[in-house]
Amino acid sequence: MFFKLFSFYFYQCVSAAKLYIYSMQFKKLIILFLIHFSSALVGQNPNDFAFVLSERAVNKVFTAVGEINGKSQYEVLGIIDGHYKWKVVNPKISFKPDSSDFTCDAKVEVGPFSYKSQVLGHVKIGYDSKQNLISIKIVDAVFELYTVVLKKKIHIKDIHLEDYFKDPFLFEGPKSFATDMSFTMPDSTVKQIYVQPSDCVMKVVKQAIKTSCDIVAQDKPFKKDIKVTPPIQPEIKKETTPTVKSN
């Protein structure tokens, strides 16, 4: 009886030891994988910290600008004239990796005739390293102004909305994250530590502009400027004819 109990206890101890060894080996594998994976990330992209400028935040600023509209007189065929007015509704900027865009509806009234145009424009995203500013500018946002005479559509002119957004939206870039902090040493002296991004890569992803950075820290002020790789998007293809939807 004693031998059976001893054998059972010994078997349980051996099993537990094996399980512990296997778990430790498994943990080592996980740690090695994480170290390798982190090294791969560090080698490919800066990843000490990242900040995101979302399209939602930009559109909040856009909304605060207020209503964009216009009005004037028109004349067609030398015999038909009157007044027109238009206003922009539902404006939105969308960030995309390939090509960011601006969309809105333009409500138009030409005399007694009215319609709505769906406008598709393009957004140019840039970065000014000297001023440390991310710029978001609307370009090539066009809709047609027309009227209808005897059931025939007559073109009056094209309205270029980009002319109404001459100033780009500007946001501070990664250089603003440079800072300094004080530490009291064991001998009661105060040491100043300076921290700033060293290399930053800015990318346009879906619904956001993401900036990833490495940082450096030292006990002396920095003399070297921060290197920032700006976002790169394909050249904008201009559309010759806007899309118009009549109500």
Q: Give residue-wise pLDDT tens across range 108-139.
A: 999 888 999 999 999 999 999 889 999 999 99
Q: Round the average pLDDT of the chain to a whole number and report it.
A: 78
Share of the chain above pLDDT 70, in %: 75
Please state the domain count of the chain: 2
Which tokens go with 127? 């970065």
- Say if residue 210 is in the same domain as residue 152: no
Q: How many other C-beta atoms are found inside a 10 Å radius of the C-beta of residue 37?
A: 10
- Say if residue 149 is in the same domain as residue 120: yes
Is 153 domain-assigned? Answer: yes
pTM of the prediction?
0.70
Structural domain range at position 221: 174-229
**For residue 163, pLDDT beyond 70:** yes
Cβ atoms 143, 162 nearer than 8 A: no
Strand 133-139 relative to strand 169-172, pairing? antiparallel
**pLDDT score of 235:** 56
- Say if residue 76 is in the same domain as residue 159: yes
Share of the chain above pLDDT 90, in %: 44
**For residue 4, pLDDT beyond 70:** no
Instruction: Name, in order, each residue with C-beta under 8 angstroms of 149's C-beta and a sequence gap of 6 or more.
Output: 76, 77, 80
**pLDDT score of 208:** 95
**For residue 30, pLDDT beyond 60:** no
- Say if residue 114 is in the same domain as residue 209: no
Going along the chain, which residue ranges are E strands? 49-54, 69-76, 80-94, 101-110, 113-128, 133-139, 142-149, 152-160, 169-172, 179-184, 190-205, 208-218, 227-229
Closest CA to 105 of 207, 241, 239, 242: 242
- Say if residue 121 is in the same domain as residue 110: yes
**pLDDT score of 222:** 86
